[in-house]
Each structure stands twice: as C-alpha cells, then as structure tokens.
Amino acid sequence: MAKSSRRKRVNLRVGDVFEIPLPDGRFGYGIVAKQGALPGGGTPYIAIFRSAYNQPPSVAEIMTDEVALQGWTTDALIYHERWKVIEFDAAVPAIQFPNFKVGSQGKFYVTDVDGEFIDLATPRELGLLNYRFSSTAGIFQEAFEAIHGFGEWKDHFDELTPAYVRSHVTRSIRLTS
C-alpha cells in the first residue's frame, strides 16, 4: 500500500510569527496580523518586518522592527514549509489597515480591511480605493528579497508598503444607521 503524502493542514492564527529565508542565508520575519476567512486561517493579512538577521533574534526584538510590507496573501509558503512558523500568540504591532471599495446593487461603498461596509463611497474614494485584493506569498518573498538587494524592486510591490496603505485609509469607523 502506498504511503500518503498529505500534509497536515496549516492553522494560522493572529500572532503567529514566521521566518522568511533570504538567498544569502539570513532570515527576516513576519506576523499574521489578521486571520484569513478560509478554514485554518488561510489567506491571512500579514506584516513583514524590514530587517534581516544572521542569528535568530528574540521575538521581542522582531516586534520592535519597522514593518516593510503588509497585505492579504495566501498561506502557500507556510504550507510548503518555506516560511516556518517560529512563535505563536505574539502581540501584533499597531499597523494601519487600508480601506477598499465594493460595488453592490448599483452603488459603491467603502469597506474596512475585513470587507465590512462603512458607508457610501465619495467620488474621491471611488478614484482612490482599490477593490479588495491579495498578493501571493511569492510576491511578498520577491519584495522582501528586493528590499535586501536580491532582484529589482517592481512597481507592484509599492501596493504592499505601509506608505501605500496609509494613502488608502479614508475611513476608520463604521457609521451606524
């Protein structure tokens, strides 16, 4: 009888810290900032810290680092064990989350990062905000490598930066009816 090659399901949770390898043997780190809606926390919102380390730092040291990249992604590189979860239940640093736009019944609305409706979109918001999107874990890996001199920075990596996110925050609260 053939041995099953099925892997155990990845169960990502907010506060899971993962290690990101660089081609020169150093490592960077990221954290799950929001759990994804798929079973096991798939498609999480992650934050990746700027620094790369030769030796494993403490989790406390990682959490004081500047966030360089953030956004919704897949759990593919964690599932395939390229990114390894090294810590659970770490305190997530304070980061801003973007707003998005969504069309529904002939109108456009501003949503929070989770897709919850906030209010009708203004003409300015319609031009500024994106529809909710995610980037593959491979794109985050490429962007992190580019930050550290491996490969070129590509224009679409800009959408993963905190500066881009800050420019796409138009509403921070849900309005009540």
Three-state SS string over 71-95 comes to EEECCHHHHCCCCEEEECCCCCCCC
Evaluate whether residue 89 is within a structural domain: yes
| Residue 65 located in a structural domain | yes
Q: Which domain holds residue 65?
A: 17-96+132-166
User: What is the number of alpha carbons within 13 Å of residue 60 lying toward its C-beta?
Assistant: 0
| Domains of the chain: total | 1
Of 17-26, 56-65, 72-81, the range with the lowest mean pLDDT is 72-81
Q: What is the mean pLDDT of residues 61-65?
A: 96
- Cα separation, 34 vs 119, in Å, equals 22
Radius of gyration of the chain (CA): 18
Domain assignment of residue 12, yes or no: no
Does 58 map to a domain? yes
Q: Is residue 175 part of a domain?
A: no
- Token pair for residue 145? 């490598």
Q: Has residue 61 been placed in a domain? A: yes
> Is the predicted pLDDT of residue 17 greater than 80, yes or no?
yes
Question: Where do the DSSP E strands lie in the chain?
Answer: 17-21, 27-34, 45-49, 67-72, 84-87, 100-104, 107-111, 117-120
Residue 1 lies in a domain: no
In a domain, 34, yes or no: yes
| pLDDT tens for each residue of 130-163 | 999 999 999 999 999 999 999 999 999 999 999 9
* Dihedral (CA of 134, 91, 80, 160) sign: positive
